[in-house]
Chains A and B, each alone.
Chain A
């Protein structure tokens, strides 16, 4: 999955040292909470779009909420997502393309 972050897959931090397999790819995360967040994000995008894979993910924002663009093949999907402190989805909203 192509991503705009080089650090932690969800928050771009380079602290921490967690590696987890997501979507068949070994990814770096700063902590386990971010692993949960990323997995929930991927699950939600798949649920909303019906896609089987996500080719790229662009994330902007912070802990208060993140605006994201996911793409699969020629399709793209924009959304806002925010999490609980435990990493579960607290708010999700589709955004205009």
Chain B
């Protein structure tokens, strides 16, 4: 069914007029999430609900393509457009502070990641989705022994290589945007349809998908040249390289599963709204990494 992309309130299937009315009503109450969604996705000019419907139809229109194509196009537009997300810009040639901001906030993100993926596994009825999530969880959190350490361990080692002990990383509370993201993704994983949760979580791995440049992204997640030379520490290269190599398959495979199991109209609409909510949470979370980086600036 259609749900609100700002708060995930369920609405009737295909009922975009109801969604328009809901957005206008919440904006009348000056709710920041709804006002933001209207400002960023439809218009900054207050109009009657009926005038929002054509814009909503454009947002949700798959244009004859697949959910995967729609998700990728919107993700590229939000994070890799002519003005990329500020964290992406900072990561092109990252300072020590930028990388440490990444470490401190991302360990909170990855701990929620495990919970979200576990909920998807628990709620799906599809064995291939369980197998996908098992592999993902091992890559991100469990690891495959010392020869192939988990992303989480590589992240902590990156922090240590930059002079910050893991005990300090693990005891630093998350910033508000990280905390709100974690709460939002937990809600998505526990309450939304499992296909919608799958799309909401694994679409985020598009951030490090190096193939997006071929699909219109203006830049990579980071300038690949930093993986050579001495610009960043070896542990930082190991961390960034792992995501660079894993996330093409992670995001593409998950979005193929979304295509396969999300084609029913009611599920498809929920996938779209949940994805839209997730990328707003992610946008704010990436800013939290920059905010944290300020703690490490000389």
Contact = CB atoms under 8 A, between A and B. Distances in A.
A and B assemble together: yes
Interface of A: 7, 11-18, 29-33, 63-65, 82, 84-86, 90-91
Q: Categorize the interface residue count of chain B.
A: 20 to 34
B13 interface: no
B282 to A, nearest CB: 11
A85 B177 contact: yes
Contact of A86 (B44, B45, B176): B176
Nearest to A13: B44
B83 A15 contact: no
Given A14-B46, A31-B35, A86 B177 contact: yes
A77 to B, nearest CB: 22
B290 interface: yes
Interface of B: 27-32, 35-36, 38-40, 44-46, 83, 85-86, 176-177, 180, 284, 287-288, 290-291, 294
B35 A85 contact: no
Given A63-B40, A84-B287, 12 more contacts: A15-B30, A15-B46, A16-B28, A16-B30, A17-B30, A29-B30, A32-B32, A84-B291, A85-B177, A85-B180, A86-B176, A91-B290
A91 B89 CA distance: 14
Which secondary structure dominates chain B's binding surface?
helix
B284 A85 contact: yes
A15 B287 contact: no
A31 B30 contact: yes
A30 B28 CA distance: 9
B45 A30 contact: no
B287 to A, nearest CB: 6
Given A16-B35, A65-B86, A30 B30 contact: yes
B30 A90 contact: no
Contacts of B176: 84-86
Nearest to B44: A13
Q: Among the interface residues B30, B38, B85, which one has the most CB atoms of the partner chain A within 10 A?
A: B30
